[in-house]
Structure 1
Amino acid sequence: MDTIVKRYYQLKEKQRETEQELKELREQILAFCTEKKTSEFAAGPFRVKLISQSRKEYDDAKLYEALPDLELWRLLSKSDASKIAGLIKLGVIQEDRLQNTYDVKQVTLLQVDKK
């Protein structure tokens, strides 16, 4: 069991290092795109594309005020944008009841594919 735990620890460390390096590389690619004022380019055999999205980030307190029904809160348990979108789609919640319960956050996704 010692070797399993040791290996797990090693892999978690490697994962943290990899995630940190990915973050730094992503920042450099985004800076390059900003500098060149582009959202798409080719780099050798790779194609880079930035995709802009808007995401709703709900405020739990404001959401609770807008949806005081405890049955709805049992379905949500906490504000989860995908669950809320599903309840809106199903007609359980009317979207206009949720106005002012969230902030819209712009997110840039980085997509790198091989040509």
Structure 2
Amino acid sequence: MIPLGFEMHLSPVEHALVLVVLGLLAAAAAMPASLTLATVGAVRSQRSGRPGLGNGIWYWFWGTALTWGAMVVGFNLDLGWYSIPVGWLPGLAAAGLLWPRRRGPLGELRWGSTRRPVGER
């Protein structure tokens, strides 16, 4: 409990309201990473020819959950307010790894396709 000098008595509705406000603040703190992942999801679905809104929302949801989890771990490691930007790192790293690569005329360029056989010019 927070030492306020008096005891707080909250009704169940007030408890729910406090939890909703805290959840909205946590979602706002997770926005840099979760919106980046939502963009990745929308772009991935557009490039595959499907509508992008559902996939973008799915990526946003999991990006928010990943960021919240990383923030909680950072807070438990006594990082304090630094746990917020540290919480963005896994989501931004996932967005970088999941970003769709540009495809050329022969498909996606891979390491094996860049090597020429011996003797060929």
- The TM-score with structure 2 as length reference comes to 0.25
Relative contact order (C-alpha < 8 Å, sep 6+): which is higher? 1
**Higher strand proportion (structure 1 or 2):** 1
**Higher helix proportion (structure 1 or 2):** 2
Structure whose CA Rg is larger: 2
